[in-house]
Copies of this chain bind each other. A is one copy, B any other.
Amino acid sequence: MQIWLAKCAGYCFGVKRAIKMALDARQETDRVYTLGPLIHNTQIVNQLRKKGIAAIEDSNQMVGEVVDIRSHGITRNQRQVLTRNRNKLIDATCPYVHKTHKIIADMVAAGYPILIFGDGNHPEVIGMLSYGDEETKVIFNDYQVTDSCHWQKLCLLSQTTQSIEDFTAIIGRLLPHCNELRAFNTICSSTSERQMAAIELARHCELMVIIGGKNSSNTKMLAKLCARITNTLHIETEDELVRDLFSGIQRIGLSAGASTPDEMIIRVYNKIKEIYGEGDAVTSIAKIPAFKEES
């Protein structure tokens, strides 16, 4: 039996930065708040709460506090409320997300109707939408482009964690209905790299195990892409692994979303090894240190 780890997996730059900024802020004050969970990983959010970094849901609740803005960003209105209520903002919005806010504001000013490709319920997309105008809309894979649709010009951009294939497919549906389609490829490079590495690995494995929050958009996307190629499991922790899942499997691939710490990847790796028993050959343990060097 072999366990292989995808070349790029786990924490992205934006998530590492948001956690570091919250922990640094916590050094200087009694308590730090985040608007919504700092990252889409229940285990890490629980650890952070124990360290005095708590998530609350309503921006109106905070007055005169230290508030870490998570990597997904917040809405324009939430930012105004937090500022008006004299909170100190630690802005850990991922630079890739910040860029989408700027593009949307610029394109609204340039008179483009805007479509955002992404999940309309995700905080990142809700934040993006708030920088648009009444013509700014969210589209997803099931978006209906009817014969009567026509845009003289149209701006399209993507939630940072979508797949480039799906983004391209949407462009293919929209292009016949546009004179000009101005597409901004706002999928973050670490998302693309993580996806490409997982897809490549999935082609060589009988089972892919994707580790990350069940509510994490980029983790769900990894699982979806791998499931198109091979059997795929999406788990949050090693506790979800049972012996039956691995029956007859000879090669397992591991990947993890942007909110998954290395520690969790190693715990999953160790659990799989334990299930197979020490007697089995685990030939690709070397992949873990290779990843560790990168992280």
A182 near B182: Cβ-Cβ < 8 Å: yes
Chain B residue nearest to A178 (CB atoms) is B185
Does A58 have its Cβ within 8 Å of any Cβ on chain B?
no
Is A184 a contact partner of B176 (Cβ separation < 8 A)?
no
Whether A180 contacts B180 by the Cβ 8 Å rule is no
Q: Provide the residues of chain B in CB contact with A180, threshold 8 Å.
A: 182-185
Q: Which of A47-55, A166-174, A205-213 contacts B (4 or more CB under 8 A)?
A: A166-174
Do the beta carbons of B164 and A168 come within 8 Å of each other?
no
* Inter-subunit contact A175/B179 (CB<8 Å): no
Interface string of A238-267 (1 = CB under 8 A from B): 000000000000000000000000000000
Q: Report the bound CA distance from A69 to B82 in whole Å.
A: 64
A181 within 8 A of B: yes
Measured between C-beta atoms, what is the minimum distance from A68 to chain B in Å?
A: 28
- The residues of B that contact A192 with a CB separation of less than 8 Å are 176
Distance from A130 Cβ to chain B, minimum over Cβ atoms (Å): 22
Instruction: Name A55-69 residues within 8 Å CB distance of B.
Output: none
Q: What residue in chain B is nearest A192 (Cβ atoms)?
A: B176
State the CA gap A164–B183 with chains docked (Å).
Answer: 16
Chain A residues proximal to chain B, CB less than 8 Å: 164-165, 167-168, 171-172, 175-176, 178-185, 192
A-B contact list, 9 entries, CB within 8 Å: A168-B171, A172-B172, A176-B185, A179-B185, A181-B182, A181-B183, A181-B185, A182-B182, A183-B183
